[in-house]
């Protein structure tokens, strides 16, 4: 078992990474919570592997109605976070403003899929209203091809919203008759009652001149923008509202899966 901490961007000890894999579907995670998901030869999410910037991955944010927000891991919004890696599981623990968060990442046995469960505990003496927001950049392409021509790669991804399934879908359109469409789904697997919204246009989520550390979508309350279709820069984001009473613990679980 390896335990690491990152405080305001300074790592205590050696940087470490962890891989969850069943031989086909795999998730690479750093101790900061950055990394990528892939299946076979396809990258599902974008990650450049830049050790300096190290700001890409599949993230979960917690936002209070007051406007304060933070990520469940040490990136993209820097803060002290403990990462514990064991066989088949990655666990991240972070506490901010009297709210304790535990994020667990694991694969789904027998499926090309992963689950990320965020458990929140309200350690304050009063109730708090929150938004929990997920975010990942959709790739659905061979890693080398995406890195060589990222703008071109993005042109072939389109997105769809399926409210009945509480899911955002992404599809890489075939470029020729010899290619087959590839699909990816990002959905809410477990969540408390509350409003659910979505966004799939990266520019709308980030805003002008912003990064994932402080995206525009976290700067204001309310539902996400709801863009879908042949977006220029595909991103999959879901937002769930919830209320935590004093001393209450609740879980929010999202999934990511692929198939043809």
Q: Three-state SS across the chain?
A: CEEEEEECCEEECCCCEEEEECCCEEEEEECCCCEEEEECCEEEECCCCCCCCCCCCCEEEEEECCCCEEECCCCCCCCCEEEEEECCEEEEEEEECCEEEEEEEEECCCCCEEEEEEEEEECCCCCEEEEEEEEEEEEEEEHHHHHHCHHHHHCCEEEEEEHHHCEEEEEECCCCCCCCCEEEEEEEEECCCCCEEEEEEHHHHHCCCCCCCCCHHHCCCCCCCCCCECCCCEEEEEEEEEEECCCCEEEEEEEEEEEC
Which are the contacts of 18, defined by CB distance < 8 A and separation ≥ 6?
2, 28, 29, 30, 31, 85, 90
d(CA 170, CA 175): 16
Whether residue 161 contacts residue 176, with contact meaning beta carbons closer than 8 Å, is answered with no
Tens digits of residue pLDDT in 204-245: 999 999 999 999 999 988 999 999 999 999 999 999 999 999
The tokens describing 146, both together, are: 């995406």
- Give the per-residue pLDDT at 233: 95
Spans of the chain below 70 pLDDT: 1-14, 50-53, 192
The tokens describing 215, both together, are: 């995206």
- Give the per-residue pLDDT at 221: 85
What are 197's strand-pairing partners? Answer: 239
The tokens describing 183, both together, are: 């699909």
**Which pTM was predicted?**
0.92
Tell me how crowded residue 203 is: count the other CB atoms within 10 A of its CB.
15
């Amino acid at each position: 078992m390896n335990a690491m901490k990152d405080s305001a961007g300074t790592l205590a000890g050696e940087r470490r990474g962890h891989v969850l894999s069943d031989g086909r579907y795999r998730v690479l995670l750093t101790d900061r919570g950055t990394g990528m998901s892939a299946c076979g030869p396809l990258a599902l999410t974008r990650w450049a592997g830049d050790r300096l910037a190290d700001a890409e991955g599949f993230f979960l944010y917690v936002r209070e109605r007051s406007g304060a927000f933070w990520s469940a891991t040490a990136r993209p919004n820097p803060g002290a976070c403990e990462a514990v890696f064991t066989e088949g599981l990655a666990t991240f623990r972070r506490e901010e403003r009297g709210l304790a968060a535990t994020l667990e990442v694991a694969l789904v046995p027998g499926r090309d899929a992963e689950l990320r469960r965020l458990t929140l505990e309200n350690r304050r003496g009063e109730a708090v209203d929150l938004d929990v927001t997920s975010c990942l950049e959709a790739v659905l392409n061979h890693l080398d091809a995406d890195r060589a021509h990222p703008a071109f790669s993005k042109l072939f991804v389109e997105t769809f919203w399926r409210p009945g399934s509480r899911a955002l879908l992404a599809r890489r359109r075939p470029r020729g008759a010899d290619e087959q469409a590839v699909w990816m789904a990002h959905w809410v697997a477990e969540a408390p009652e509350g409003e659910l919204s979505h966004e799939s246009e990266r520019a709308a989520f980030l805003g002008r001149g912003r990064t994932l550390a402080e995206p525009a979508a976290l700067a204001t309350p309310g539902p996400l923008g709801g863009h879908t279709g042949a977006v220029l820069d595909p991103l999959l984001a879901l937002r769930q509202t919830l209320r935590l009473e004093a001393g209450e613990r609740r879980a929010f679980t999202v999934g990511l899966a692929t198939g043809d």
